[in-house]
Amino acid sequence: MPADNELWPAWLPIRSELRELKPYGAPQIANVIHLNTNENPFELPKAVAEALRARIEVIASSLNRYPDRDAATLRTDLANYINLAAGTDFDLNNVWAANGSNEILQTLLLACGGVDSLVLGFTPSYSVHPLIAKITGTPWKSGSRNADFTLDAPAAVLEISTIAPALVFITTPNNPTGNALAINEIRELAIAALNVGALLVVDEAYQEFSNELSAVTLISEFPNIVVTRTMSKAFAFAGARVGYLIARPEVIDAMLIARLPYHLSSLTQAAAQVALKHQSELQAEVQILIAERNRIAAAIIALGLSVIPSSANFLLFTGFRKSAELLWQEFLDGGVLIRDVGLPGYLRVTVGTAAENDHFLALLQRLAP
Ligand SMILES: Cc1ncc(COP(=O)(O)O)c(C=O)c1O
């Protein structure tokens, strides 16, 4: 797709604000170790794959029919999953599901964004947030972080109060930095947002890897908190595309207005329900990844480099003398694809299997000092 203004043909009425954009996406390269998109490295356990096959066989003959438009059973299962983890009391009226949390965020901004609704986010953070804002015609403002990428909660509260946005986005654990907010910090942001009539959107894509309490526990107190989640990471289900949102029922009603009819296929709904049934097997792998994350972090530090403390399934590291671009290329030449997130002097690595992580660490030892 042409990204250059000159290359868009005169007959194509692409919106002027999109003309300078390039399609988003990390490189997809064959025959290398993929540690660049924060996927879960484990294939689905045999029992889960078997159960999926059996379920698809059952629903295959009814694919002539549209899916349950409102995905009621899946939303109930997701509410139960959250309640079990967080001790909350949600039901399907508090949950909305879609094709990945990216679609959740886009639908949310279709419903609550737009030209008159400023979004405030604290960068560096998930780079798709400002992109979705742009695509939905919603103005975006970047708030700041500390030099070590932690969020200065009192400064953020001040920014919310003075800027008075319609929506505030926070990501915790944050991508690409890995650090998480404490629940009392989220509460402070929620109060500030409520005072200016803003929604606080908490992107918890990596929550299962964190020890901090989820923001879902604040929803009964704060109507303006919306939490987005995904099955792409902890459930090893990125290819199935399932994300969801937890919020007050009024937010779900707004999502129902903005969603496309039949947006979530019968196959996706059924697959997600099977994965949720097998949550304990899948969650066991999260513990392995946390242990591997801590092992890699210690090894990076032992090499004399620095790493941002991570509550997610990836690590942002620094302290190498080469440019990030050069080191990224050298890693690729050595057969490991990591992520240059555009922060000078930093690279991000996703936690892989033990063997993949060993390969990464061996390369790091050879290339980085
Ligand atoms: C912070 C954050 N939010 C959302 C997503 C999107 O996840 P999904 O696969 O559910 O669209 C990602 C993916 O990497 C992410 O890092």
For the stretch 142-163, pLDDT in tens is: 998 999 999 999 999 999 999 9
Q: What is the mean pLDDT of residues 176-193?
A: 98
Q: Does residue 175 line the site of ligand 1, with CB under 6 A?
A: yes
Q: How far is the CA of 183 from the centre of ligand 1 (A)?
A: 21
- Given a cut of 60, is residue 255 above it in pLDDT? yes
Between CA 210 and CA 213 the distance in angstroms is 8
Residue 338's closest CA among 352, 328, 326?
A: 328
Asked if 341 contacts 204 with a C-beta cutoff of 8 angstroms, the reply is: no
Centroid of chain to Cα 62: 32
Helix (H) or strand (E) holding 275: helix 266-277
Give percent above pLDDT 70 in the chain.
Answer: 98
Q: How far is the CA of 4 from the centre of ligand 1 (A)?
A: 27
> pLDDT value at position 322?
95
- Given a cut of 60, is residue 2 above it in pLDDT? no
> pLDDT value at position 288?
97
- Index of the ligand 1 atom closest to the CA of residue 105: 4
Q: Does residue 130 line the site of ligand 1, with CB under 6 A?
A: no
> pLDDT value at position 213?
98
- Given a cut of 70, is residue 105 above it in pLDDT? yes
Q: Does residue 207 line the site of ligand 1, with CB under 6 A?
A: no
Question: Regarding predicted confidence, which is higher, 132 or 20?
Answer: 132
pLDDT of 276-298, one tens digit each? 999 999 888 999 999 999 999 99
Q: Does residue 104 line the site of ligand 1, with CB under 6 A?
A: no
Residues whose CB falls within 8 Å of the CB of residue 169, separated by 6 or more in sequence, listed in order: 119, 120, 121, 122, 125, 129, 201, 203
Beta bridge partner(s), residue 119: 140, 167
> pLDDT value at position 6?
67
> What contacts 24+ positions apart, CB below 8 Å, involve 351-354?
351/35, 351/41, 351/289, 351/292, 351/293, 351/296, 351/313, 351/314, 351/315, 352/33, 352/34, 352/35, 352/41, 352/292, 353/41, 353/42, 353/292, 354/292
Q: What is the mean pLDDT of residues 237-265?
A: 97
> pLDDT value at position 23?
87
Q: Does residue 230 line the site of ligand 1, with CB under 6 A?
A: yes
Task: Give 155: exposed, middle or buried? Use CB within 10 Å, 0-12, 13-18, 19+.
Answer: middle
Mutational pocket test of ligand 1: of 96, 102, 172, 204, the residue with most ligand atoms within 8 Å of the beta carbon = 102
pLDDT of 332-341, one tens digit each? 999 999 999 9
- Index of the ligand 1 atom closest to the CA of residue 37: 14
> pLDDT value at position 218?
98
Q: Does residue 39 line the site of ligand 1, with CB under 6 A?
A: no
Mutational pocket test of ligand 1: of 34, 39, 101, 123, the residue with most ligand atoms within 8 Å of the beta carbon = 101
Mutational pocket test of ligand 1: of 78, 99, 128, the residue with most ligand atoms within 8 Å of the beta carbon = 128
Q: How far is the CA of 11 from the centre of ligand 1 (A)?
A: 34
- Index of the ligand 1 atom closest to the CA of residue 238: 9
Please identify which residue in the block is written with the tokens 């159960």. Answer: 51
Confidence of residue 69 (pLDDT cuts 50, 70, 90): very high
State the chain's mean pLDDT as an integer: 96
- Given a cut of 60, is residue 216 above it in pLDDT? yes
Q: What is the mean pLDDT of residues 311-330?
A: 97
Domains, the chain, with CATH or none: 5-45+281-367 (3.90.1150.10), 63-278 (3.40.640.10)
Q: Does residue 232 line the site of ligand 1, with CB under 6 A?
A: yes
Q: How far is the CA of 155 from the centre of ligand 1 (A)?
A: 26
- Given a cut of 60, is residue 323 above it in pLDDT? yes
Q: What is the mean pLDDT of residues 105-133?
A: 97
Q: How far is the CA of 99 from the centre of ligand 1 (A)?
A: 11
Confidence of residue 32 (pLDDT cuts 50, 70, 90): very high
> pLDDT value at position 26?
80
Please identify which residue in the block is written with the tokens 């737009």. Answer: 114
- Index of the ligand 1 atom closest to the CA of residue 103: 11
